[in-house]
Amino acid sequence: MVDLRNVRGWIAAGALFIAMLVVLAGPSYAAAPVRLEEHCRIGAPADTAIAEISKRLDRCAAPAPKGYFGTLWVAYDRLPDFTPLKKTWRLILDNNRADAVDVWMIGSDGKADHWTFDPNASDREWAAANYMSMLVTPERPVSRILVRLINARSHSYVRAPQIARARDFAPLERDQAAIYGIGVGMLALTILFHLSLFFAMRRRFQLIYCAHVGLLVVYGLSYSGLIHIFAPSLGAAAISNILAFAMAAGTATGISFIIEFLGASTPRWLRRWAGFAALGSLTGAVGLLLVPDRLSYPAFLAANLLAMHTILLTTAILARACVRRVPMASTIALGWVLPIGVSLLYPARTFGLIGAETIPDGLMMFATTIECLILSLPVAARIRNLRMEHERAHERHVMLERQAQTDALTGLANRRGFGDALARIGVAQADPAPLALLVIDIDHFKRVNDQHGHATGDAILRHVAGHVARVAGSGAIVARYGGEEFVVALRNYDLMRAGTLAERIRNSIGVTFDMEPDLPRVTISIGVAAGGSDEIEILLADADCALYRAKNEGRNKVMLADGPLVYAAAA
Question: Which residues are catalytic, by number?
Answer: 484
Question: Helix, strand, coil: what percent of the chain each, to 5?
Answer: 55, 20, 25
Contact predicate 503/544, CB 8 Å: no
Contact predicate 559/495, CB 8 Å: no
Tell the burial category of 481 from Cβ atoms under 10 Å away from its Cβ (0-12, 13-18, 19+).
Answer: buried
The two beta strands, 126-127 and 69-78, are unpaired
Dmax of the chain from CA atoms?
139
The two beta strands, 126-127 and 434-442, are unpaired
* Three-class SS of 178-229: HHHHHHHHHHHHHHHHHHHHHHHHCCHHHHHHHHHHHHHHHHHHHHHCCHHH
The two beta strands, 34-35 and 162-165, are antiparallel
Contact predicate 301/66, CB 8 Å: no
Contact predicate 430/488, CB 8 Å: no
| Strands, sheet with 565-568, edge to edge from the N-terminal-most edge strand | 477-482, 485-491, 434-442, 524-532, 557-560, 565-568
Alpha-carbon span 553 to 357, nearest angstrom: 107
Tell the burial category of 66 from Cβ atoms under 10 Å away from its Cβ (0-12, 13-18, 19+).
Answer: middle
Indicate the Cα dihedral angle 525, 531, 534, 536, nearest 10°: -10
Which residues pair with residue 435 across a beta bridge? 491, 531
Of the candidates 73, 23, 27, the one whose C-alpha atom is nearest the C-alpha of residue 50 is 73
Of the candidates 253, 375, 243, 354, the one whose C-alpha atom is nearest the C-alpha of residue 310 is 253
Contact predicate 172/32, CB 8 Å: yes
Helix (H, G, I), strand (E, B) or coil at 318: helix
CA triplet 532, 537, 541: central angle to 5 degrees? 105
Alpha-carbon span 111 to 104, nearest angstrom: 9
89 membership: H or E segment, kind and range: strand 89-94
Which residues pair with residue 529 across a beta bridge? 437
Buried b (16+ CB within 10 A) or exposed e, 8-31: eebeebbeebeeebeebbeebeee
Cis upstream peptide for 84 (omega within 30°): yes
